[in-house]
């Protein structure tokens, strides 16, 4: 008998039918002899609907009240799920984040977990109940105010509970079968990965793969929680995300010592590129620019600086960021025109990023060659390049991005003969 934490996203419990379907799935797991903890998100569009209401009553809703408002969404879904499970003859109890001991700091809207004390969840399990926990929410340690964990919050709730309860596995359910070598909507021949290391998964998540949130992968790696990403629509095995590739074998899954060269590709269409043209090329210019942006919580991704020559050398600095922060960054830079001293600002939100991820590339020198050759053959212009130990990323024109993904996928022999199944949205 294992202890299994299952997390279901909002699209899995979008309506009463979805709630009953998830309930059957939970009851099956329970009836197979396992202890089950379920983390659930708000139903379908509930969170967006509540945000709309907030926008109708206030121009700038206080963050404390926004958290109180939004957390009602998970209360609804968790209570309904507990009812539906009970209706199948399996005793179930729901718990809010506060009741489940999800203690956070006071950053409303993006709270960080500071302690997880699931005493009541343990009691419920000891009394043979399925425990249903509201995802995404916690309670501020000192004020007892209700907080939310921000983006990817429900995944984080699930992993944190799995770690605190020493669960055998944390299953993340969504509407796709697992992690693919590339987005099956763009590469129909993409293959589902049976397993991926958390190091690789981190790079995929950080570079545009939507299946798992970066924060949840980091948490799982840190606390050595095995993740199993799978579909709530099938009983197929999904993808195992293994905390450390060569150690900590889980009881469920043996991991071969040989590591595949490439785990997969991630892409991100939501990039924008800003170029500061003709800035004076003296030491500290880059740090001045990026300090300015960091102070306003603008997150810069890739940076390229061209060093010029001559008597009064000028430099062009380009960087990418999420396009949602593009306008803010441009305003900050315009306001600092005199302080920085530049000729011109260029803004381009028609760019995308392609990343190739694989732990094997640490020890294989041919990867970069194959990568760039494939892009050249496909007539893809490379704008910017960045690399890590297990990743190469490039920025290119957004209209070239799909071609680039397919060309690289083929070049590394990742295409399968079968067509991947896509069930619906993004699973989040």
Work out whether strand 102-104 and strand 113-116 pair parallel, antiparallel, or are unpaired: antiparallel
Q: Going by C-beta distance under 8 Å and a sequence separation of 6 or more, which residues neighbour residue 42? A: 10, 70, 73, 74, 76, 77, 136
List 357's β-bridge partners, or say none.
Answer: 264, 391
* Residue 9 is labelled as binding a ligand: yes
Residue spans of beta strands (DSSP E) within 308-343: 314-322
- Per CB under 8 A, 20 contacts its own copies: yes
Q: Minimum Å distance from CB 171 to its own copies?
A: 22
Binding mask 110-139 for its own copies (x = CB under 8 A): ----------x-------------------
Site for its own copies in 79-108 (CB under 8 A): 79-84, 86-87, 92-94, 96, 99
List 6's β-bridge partners, or say none.
Answer: 38, 171
Cα–Cα dist 23/20, whole Å: 5
* Residue 47 is labelled as binding a ligand: yes
* Residue 352 is labelled as binding a ligand: no
Q: Minimum Å distance from CB 88 to its own copies?
A: 9
3-state secondary structure of 404: helix
* Residue 362 is labelled as binding a ligand: no
Q: How far is CA 141 from CA 98, 111, 157, 246, in A?
A: 10, 11, 16, 37
Residue spans of beta strands (DSSP E) within 281-389: 300-307, 314-322, 344-357, 384-388
Q: Minimum Å distance from CB 153 to its own copies?
A: 17
* Residue 141 is labelled as binding a ligand: no
* Residue 106 is labelled as binding a ligand: no
Nearer to its own copies, 108 or 228 (CB): 108
From the CA atom positions of the chain, what is the Rg in Å? 23
Binding mask 279-308 for its own copies (x = CB under 8 A): ------------------------------
* Residue 33 is labelled as binding a ligand: no
- Cα angle 22, 25, 30 (rounded to 5 degrees) comes to 125
Nearer to its own copies, 57 or 257 (CB): 57
Q: Report the binding-site residues for substrate.
A: 47, 74
Q: Report the binding-site residues for ATP.
A: 7-10, 180, 185
Site of interaction with its own copies (CB under 8 A): 16, 19-20, 23, 50, 53-54, 56-62, 64-66, 68-69, 71-73, 75-76, 78-84, 86-87, 92-94, 96, 99, 120, 144
């Amino acid at each position: 008998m294992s202890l299994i934490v299952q997390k279901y996203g909002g699209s899995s419990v979008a309506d009463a039918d979805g709630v009953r379907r998830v309930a059957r799935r939970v009851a099956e797991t329970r009836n197979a002899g396992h202890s089950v903890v379920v983390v659930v998100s708000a139903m379908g569009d509930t969170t967006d609907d509540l945000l709309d209401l907030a926008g109708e009553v206030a121009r700038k809703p206080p963050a404390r009240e926004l958290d109180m408002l939004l957390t009602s969404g998970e209360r609804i879904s968790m209570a309904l799920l507990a009812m539906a499970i009970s209706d199948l003859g399996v005793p179930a109890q729901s718990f809010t984040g506060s009741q489940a001991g999800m203690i956070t700091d006071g950053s409303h809207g993006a709270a960080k977990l500071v302690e997880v004390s699931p005493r009541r969840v343990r009691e419920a399990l000891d009394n043979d109940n399925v425990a249903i926990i509201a995802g995404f929410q916690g309670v501020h340690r000192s004020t007892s105010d209700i907080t939310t964990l921000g983006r990817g919050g429900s995944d984080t709730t699930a992993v944190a509970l799995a770690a605190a309860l020493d669960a055998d596995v944390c299953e993340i359910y969504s509407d796709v079968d697992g992690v693919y070598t590339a987005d099956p909507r763009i590469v129909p021949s993409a293959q589902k990965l049976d397993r991926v290391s958390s190091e690789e998964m981190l790079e995929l998540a950080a570079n545009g793969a939507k299946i798992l949130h970066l924060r949840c992968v980091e948490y799982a790696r840190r606390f050595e929680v095995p993740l199993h990403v799978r579909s709530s629509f099938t009983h197929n095995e999904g993808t195992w995300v293994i905390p450390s590739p060569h150690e900590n074998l889980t009881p469920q899954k043996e991991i071969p010592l040989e590591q595949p060269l490439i785990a997969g590709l991630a892409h991100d269409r939501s990039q924008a590129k800003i170029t500061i043209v003709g800035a004076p090329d003296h030491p500290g210019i880059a740090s001045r620019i990026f300090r300015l942006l960091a102070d306003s919580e603008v997150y810069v991704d890739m940076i390229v600086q061209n060093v010029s020559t001559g008597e009064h050398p000028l430099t062009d600095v380009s960087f990418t960021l999420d396009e949602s922060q593009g306008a803010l960054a441009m305003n900050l830079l315009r306001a600092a025109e005199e302080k920085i001293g530049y000729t011109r600002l260029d803004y381009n939100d028609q760019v995308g990023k392609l990343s190739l991820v694989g732990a094997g590339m640490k020890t294989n020198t041919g990867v970069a060659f194959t990568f760039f050759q494939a892009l050249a053959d496909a007539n893809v212009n490379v704008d910017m390049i960045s690399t890590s130990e297990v990743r190469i990323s490039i920025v290119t024109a957004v209209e070239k991005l799909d071609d680039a993904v397919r060309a690289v996928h083929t070049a590394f022999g990742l295409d399968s003969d079968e067509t991947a199944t896509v069930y619906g949205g993004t699973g989040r």
